[in-house]
Amino acid sequence: MSKNIDINVHHLTRVEGHGNIRVNVTNGKIEMCQWQVPEAPRFFEAMVRGRRWDDIQTIVSRICGICSITHSLASTKAVEDALGIEVSEQADKLRILMHYSEQLQSHVLHVGYLVAPDLFRAPSVVPLIPKATDAVKTIIRAHRVANTWSDLLAGRTTHPTTLIPGGLTQIPKPDQLRDLQDTLKATIPDLVTICEVVLSVADKMPAFERQTEYVSLKQDNPPTYTFYHGGITSTDCNGQPPVPVQQWESVANEYVHPQSTAKWTKWHRDSYAVGALARFNNNAELLSPLGKKVAEMFGLEKGNCSPFMNNVAQLVEAAHVVETSIHMIDELLTTGLKEEKVKVTPKAGRGSGCVEAPRGILFHTYEFDKNGECTAANICIPTNQNHANIQKDFQKFVPEFLDQGQDELRLGLEMLVRSYDPCISCSTHMLNVEFVK
């Protein structure tokens, strides 16, 4: 066993916060083992106060460039809940189709650009290109399909322009949906290839499990592998009916922890996990045939408690959303698409919206006065819901992998954090450069 270890993955720039990994072992005794999140506090809730009900989505879509459709959908649903706005079946389906594009986009990006380099022992995706050229190109092709898919439904790749409380400002034409369907069919072999490539190096994932509570949406009527409708459940709920989304604060139980400026959460235990593996563990029997096939390829079964398998669950979901969307497009085309007018009368009210971001369940709540101006807001992002669980994983992982030495332990901990697909430092991407010529 290594007697002394000092790991300090410390990244704190002027504005952006990052997660820090701190482990200190002296003479074989673990003196520090922490996942620290010194992220600058976010005041997005304050920014929407005083804004009109139809401005909220535009603002919150900028909270995150990767989950912008998800934030837009959560806020739109919350506004609709507060103002009592009904949404047509057509708009509902098109929104779900839009949301699926973000699941594919994010999952492929995460597995392809962040997880695969770990498994191939490459420092990033760029040096991976000569080692696995075809695999990288296949990943990029699938990511590009997801981007053009969200362009079509959301109006552009990031920060959607088509969503409005009550419906959508524009709908795709039938021939555009047919083209999308053809493209999705042609993408399935690429997804299978990506799964095979990841499977070929899956033995590089650390063998680690920890009994965990997994929280996600659950939809019983009709039973659906849901990202959008339903209530909140967990693997500790033992068949209890899902909790209505309006009561999400009683699930998240947010609290302040000295290790982090981000709030932590807990429900039935000291911590819980959200994300693809949580959705899988609560809903796996409702996956599409291809989603189930991918799970079988990796031996992923309900009840799995390895955080690293979250990345496999992301592949399962990538297959599921593509296959499911192919069928949804058939349904939309069979019913026929029609332009719909949205009419909203503002009123006072409080409402909540909950959708599954690629990286886990996301909650938005707003209150409006009688003119439809926002008077209060509360947003709880999935990554904050995972922080406490990452800390609990660290506390089990470090003693189990201590004898692998400093470098392997550090890589293992970094992979563990990455497996959760965290959303940190997402609000600013500016350049930081020095001139060389």
Partner 1 sequence: MSGNMTKNTIVLGLGNPLMGDEAIGVKLIELLQSASGDFPEVDFIDAGTGGMNILHLLANRNKAIIIDCALMNQPPGTIKRFTPDEVQSVKNLAHLSLHEVDVLKVIELARSLGECPEQITFFAIQPESIEQRMSLSESLAGRLADYVQTIKKDLP
Cα separation, 87 vs 396, whole angstroms: 46
74 binds partner 1 (CB under 8 A): no
Considering only 65, 246, 342, 396, the residue that binds partner 1 (CB under 8 A) is 65
421 binds partner 1 (CB under 8 A): yes
Structure tokens at 354: 């909950």
Burial of 241 (0-12, 13-18, 19+ CB in 10 A): exposed
Looking only at residues 3 through 62 of this chain, which bind partner 1 when binding is defined by CB under 8 A? Answer: 9, 11, 13-16, 18-19, 42-44, 46-47, 59, 62
Structure tokens at 51: 């804004």
Q: Which residues on neighbouring strands pair with residue 344, listed in sequence order?
A: none
385 binds partner 1 (CB under 8 A): no
Considering only 190, 236, 400, 414, the residue that binds partner 1 (CB under 8 A) is 414
164: part of which helix (H) or strand (E)?
A: strand 163-164
Q: φ, ψ for residue 422 (rounded to 5)? A: -70, 155
134 binds partner 1 (CB under 8 A): no
Considering only 7, 25, 56, 66, the residue that binds partner 1 (CB under 8 A) is 66
126 binds partner 1 (CB under 8 A): yes
CB of 214: closest distance to partner 1 in angstroms? 21
Burial of 331 (0-12, 13-18, 19+ CB in 10 A): exposed
Cβ closer to partner 1: 104 or 180?
A: 180
Q: Contacts with partner 1: how many residues (CB under 8 A)?
A: 69
136 binds partner 1 (CB under 8 A): yes
Cα separation, 35 vs 384, whole angstroms: 12
In 3D, which of 151, 150, 145 has the Cα closest to residue 186? 145
Residue type, position 260, single letter? S
Q: Helix or strand or coil: residue 218?
A: strand
425 binds partner 1 (CB under 8 A): yes
Q: Is the dihedral of CA 421, 424, 427, 429 positive or negative?
A: negative
Looking only at residues 150 through 189 of this chain, which bind partner 1 when binding is defined by CB under 8 A? Answer: 151-152, 156-159, 176, 179-180, 183
Residue 147 CB-half CA count within 13 A: 12
Pattern 77-116, binding to partner 1, x per CB under 8 A? -----------------------------x--xx--xx--
Enumerate binding residues for partner 1 (CB under 8 A): 9, 11, 13-16, 18-19, 42-44, 46-47, 59, 62-66, 68, 106, 109-110, 113-114, 123-126, 129, 136-137, 140, 143-145, 147-149, 151-152, 156-159, 176, 179-180, 183, 414, 417-418, 421-437
